[in-house]
Amino acid sequence: MKPVSDRRLSDVVSVGLLTRVFPASLVDEVIAECGRREQRSRTLTARVTAYFAIGMALNSEGSYEEVFEQLTDGLSWSSGWSQSWSPPTKSAIFQARSRLGYEPVRELFRRVARPLADTDTPGSWLAGRRLVALDGTCLDLPDTPANVEHFGRPASSRGEKSAFPQARLVAVAECGTHAVFDAAIGPCRISERELAHDLMDTLEPGMLLLADRGFYGFDMWTRAAATGADLLWRVKSTLSPRHLDTLDEGSWLAQIVPTSGTDRQQRTPLTVRVIDYTLDDGRENPEQYRLLTTILDPLRRTRGRTRPRLRPALGNREHLRRTQNPPTRPPRRPAVEIPTVGPPGNLGAPVLPLRHPHPDARRRNRRPT
């Protein structure tokens, strides 16, 4: 249904929170580079569809209509509720998504995703290093022949196939903010370690990468350490590096070598620091944990940057109360202000939630299903 206004939906849908992170100029640039710019005038342009795809990720439980309604509510709000837009049909949305493809959305993530913590963000720093973590998971996918062929179905415990195909996701995230700034997706038959190889290049000096024992391997460790980032990984307690020296605080220096490969005898051993510990959780035989780290000196801090003010994991309660509570409205100012567009990745200041002043009227105007 065509809007009452002469403006097209695609001309104004870029207002709102999404444009703080994904400015319209950046979206258009990426779409052009990926060759997805529309050849004729459409209501659902590639830019609108890109924002819609991001909206679906933010509201994965919602239907097409519900997600698009959230976007168009932002348009009505920005016009002071003087205008309204009707969402397009499912068929139109499906065709628009097919025209866009996945490449522009993937490139937008690569352009914008980055660590967000500053020096005062609680839980984001340790001894001057930015805490980041590597981990993986599996995601259920729609049961379609194309998904089954590409991603596959994992086997169940009884030897049968899973009800849904699954994709394996491995990501690098900032610990303090939970911001994912690099990720790799592949079929469920591919291991997390194999997917993680493609993520090592996102590391940089000044980071401390945490990882569980499933990621350790000599080649993986070597590649991650070569980036200049420090590593702190859990390994299997059965891993036995060659002991070199015991340090005063109880950890010890050792050498690790590859355990497989025809050239493992010619590979140069790497020196690491080993930390062994147990958790007193009340069990008779508590499990022993073993960590490897590239930080050979327990007292060494990173250089060349301002040391952050370290805080407990949850931070100072009074500070969090002042900074995380919704801001009070200044006198003689409108209750809601239109957010300004900042550089890519800039979330800006928090704003009040968008809310339709007459929700019952909005529901009556919905397109019948």
Q: What does the pLDDT profile of the chain (369 residues) look like in tens digits?
A: 444 545 444 444 444 567 778 888 899 899 999 988 877 766 678 888 888 888 888 777 777 777 777 776 655 554 455 555 566 788 888 888 888 888 999 999 999 999 999 988 999 999 899 999 999 999 998 889 999 999 998 887 676 778 889 999 999 999 999 999 999 999 999 999 999 998 999 999 999 999 999 999 999 999 999 999 999 999 998 888 999 999 988 899 999 988 776 776 778 899 999 999 988 777 777 788 999 999 998 876 655 443 433 333 333 334 433 443 433 434 433 333 333 444 454 444 333 333 444 444 444 455 554
Q: Could you give the CA distance from residue 190 to residue 37 in angstroms, rounded to a whole number?
A: 34
Asked if 288 and 276 count as a contact pair (C-beta separation under 8 A), the reply is yes
Q: Could you give the CA distance from residue 233 to residue 265 in angstroms, rounded to a whole number?
A: 24
Q: Are strands 207-211 and 129-140 parallel, antiparallel or unpaired?
A: parallel
pLDDT, residue 279, reads 83
Q: Could you give the CA distance from residue 138 to residue 174 in angstroms, rounded to a whole number?
A: 20
Helix axis angle, 46-58 to 24-33, nearest 10°: 110
Counted residue by residue, the chain has a size of 369
pTM of the model: 0.71
Asked if 62 and 73 count as a contact pair (C-beta separation under 8 A), the reply is no
Question: In this structure, what token pair is assigned to residue 342?
Answer: 């900042």
Chain center to CA of 251: 33
Helix axis angle, 64-78 to 90-100, nearest 10°: 90
pLDDT, residue 23, reads 83
